[in-house]
Amino acid sequence: MSKLNPKILLASGDPRLGESVERKVGKSGRTTVGPAHGLNRQRNVLLVLGWYDHRLHQGIASYAREKGWHLSANLAHERVIPWGWKGDGVLAWLGEGEDLVELVQSLGRPTVDFSLRRPQLPFARVLQDHKQGATLVADHFLTRGFRNYLFYSDTNNWSYEERGRGFVDGLRSAGHDCAWIKWHESRSYRSGREEWAKRRYWLEKQLIAARLPLAVFGANDELAVEVLEVCERLGLSVPEQVSIVGAENYLLAVDAMRTPISSVDTNLEQQGYEGAAMLDRLMDGAAEPEEPVRVSAARVVARKSSDILAVSHTGVARGLRFIWDRFQDPIRIEEVARAASMSRRGLHQAFVDHLNRTPGEEIRSARAGHAKKLLTETRYKIEAISGLSGYQSTNSFCAAFKKNTGMSPSMYRKMVLRSRGTGS
């Protein structure tokens, strides 16, 4: 995960004296203490975030506003652990820091952890679906016709491992191999002052040995930038020879870069919102779920670092470009075939052979992706979005969108905007 801030503790105000409480036993036999039911008072929630991102906080705050919770947003740099705090529940990101773990365990309150760094802890969890996000990246590269793939990680982090496995498995299911390079397991590994230079030199050798054109997925955005800088040093053009996607979408002023980095929007706002909703249920007395709840990544935010076609088949490349340029129009497969100078049957087979999807599936995917962008980045009505995304009617748009996402366009918009705290 990215390291955006030191550990943050957000306490929810002063302890309430004389509160009425009840005790309940969770799935692990651990006794937790919560407020007695029926008391009409404001709930008090403690945030213990060993890793901080404002988008996660925003999702939590959105739910807190809906429910009238008390959350303190004191983001001062002092790190003061509120030993002896009394309240109703805890939302935590328990990564490094034994003192934070000790605090949360000592409280005995209903708790939701946003991390799997410490799987042995008996807490409910709401986690990012790293495998699903990695599959989005695999599809992003597959659509562009790549055949050479690489995943790059630099530490034994559970989220990076899940991303790597998801990327490799997604490509394997499409008939492609993927190299996974791990700096922390290489013979060249060094820490301390030598690490930066040694790692760059090692990464240079990995890229020189790879077959081009190459699609690289960095375990986070910082690693993606590192790949970009090494490519520039080696004279490898991005995205023509090396196409790059990162993860977490946290780079500041990314569009000011000469080659902006594509990245996975991991949907941190929704993770925060869903975690708060789970805590609310636990504070109401619900049992802890047996398995972690996973929140799907929103999308790949495509930028210049991966905006390229790497299809060796001229007809498929022409067909793809025609679809991407015209999907907002009521195009037919015959028109795509004509643009590709191929028969309809030949185009279908070539798409399946080179992209593992049909021309019709590519059209539907392009339209759905554009519709998602309009739903979450504009205030256009559903009827307008339907037409702007290439659908013949609102009914056909709603049916296709629900088949693609499992929910209606209006539900999708409300879910995303609610998690961002921007209303519906």
Give domain status of residue 48, yes or no: yes
Residue 183: the pLDDT is 97
Four-CA torsion 222, 228, 234, 240, nearest 10 degrees: 160
Q: Could you tell me which residues come within 8 angstroms of residue 76 by beta carbon, excluding any fewer than 6 positions away?
A: none
Query: Which residue has tokens 């990245």?
Result: 263
**Has residue 378 been placed in a domain?**
yes
Q: Note whether residue 212 is domain-resident.
A: yes
Using CB atoms within 10 A of its CB, is residue 394 exposed (0-12), middle (13-18) or buried (19+)? middle
Say whether both 157 and 275 belong to one domain.
no
Do 283 and 389 reside in the same domain of the chain? no
Let me know if residue 179 belongs to a domain. Answer: yes
- Same-domain status, 115 and 15: yes
Domain endpoint, select from 246, 281, 306:
306
Q: Give the total residue count for the chain.
A: 424
pLDDT score for 37: 46
CA–CA distance, 134 with 297 (Å, rounded to integer): 9
pLDDT of residue 23: 40
Same domain, 149 and 72: no
Q: Long-range contacts made by residues 199-205, C-beta under 8 angstroms, separation at least 24?
A: 199/154, 199/226, 200/226, 200/229, 200/230, 200/233, 203/152, 203/227, 203/230, 204/230, 204/233, 204/234
Element containing residue 412 per DSSP (H, E): helix 409-420
- Give me the DSSP letters along 349-386: HHHHHHHSS-HHHHHHHHHHHHHHHHHHH----HHHHH
Would you state the pLDDT for residue 98? 87
How many domains are there within the chain? 3
Nearest to 51 by CA among 268, 273, 251: 268
Query: Is residue 192 assigned to a domain?
Result: yes
Per-residue DSSP letter, 44 = B
Residue 152 sits in the same domain as residue 103: no
> Do 33 and 124 fall within a single domain?
yes
> What pLDDT shows up at residue 93?
93
The two three-digit tokens of residue 221, written as one number: 């955005």
Domain of residue 174, residue span: 130-265+300-306
Q: Measured between alpha carbons, how far is 138 from 168 in angstroms, rounded to an integer?
A: 8
Q: Indicate if 14 and 48 belong to the same structural domain.
A: yes
Q: How far is CA 98 from the centre of its chain?
A: 27
Domain co-membership, 97 together with 152: no
pLDDT at 81: 82
Res 76: pLDDT: 36
Tokens encoding 311: 């299809």
CATH number for the domain that contains residue 261: 3.40.50.2300
356 assigned to some structural domain: yes
Distance CA 128, CA 248 (A): 10
Q: How far is CA 328 from CA 141, 368, 385, 391, 412, in A?
A: 22, 11, 10, 8, 20
> CA nearest 49: which of 94, 5, 90?
94
199 and 318 both lie in a single domain: no
pLDDT on residue 275:
96
Cis peptide before 213 (omega within 30 of 0): yes
321 and 245 part of one domain: no
Check whether residue 141 and residue 215 sit in a common domain: yes
In this predicted structure, what is the pLDDT of residue 252?
87
Residue 19 and residue 284: Cα distance in Å, rounded?
16
Q: What is the pTM of this model?
A: 0.75
Same-domain status, 161 and 108: no
Domain-located, residue 1: no
| Rg over CA atoms, the chain | 24
CA 54/CA 64 separation, integer angstroms: 15
Per-block mean pLDDT, blocks of 10 residues, the chain (424 long):
44 36 45 49 90 91 93 56 88 87 93 95 96 95 92 96 97 95 95 93 96 96 97 92 95 88 94 96 94 92 85 83 89 94 94 87 90 87 93 92 89 77 52
**Within a domain: residue 358?**
yes
